[in-house]
Amino acid sequence: MLDTDSGAALTAGVVALAMAGYYALVRVAEARWPWLGVLLGTPAAPKYEQPAVRQR
């Protein structure tokens, strides 16, 4: 068995991998079915715009 610190570190690592896997899976699925973006808290992929260029 693992000691307390090793068990906590292993748990944190497994949770981080599970979250990354879930996020990646939903993002890939969202490309085909956009309504699945709701599972990530947003209805669509973010859209970024170029900032306006200032004139001198």
The domain ranges of the chain are: 17-46
In Å, the largest CA–CA distance within the chain is: 67
What's residue 45's pLDDT?
63
pLDDT digits (tens, 9 = 90+) for 2-51: 898 999 999 999 999 999 999 999 989 988 988 888 888 876 667 888 88
Query: Which two tokens mark 55?
Result: 């004139």
CA distances (Å), 47 to each of 35, 38, 42, 50, in order?
16, 16, 12, 10
pTM, whole model, 2 decimals?
0.65
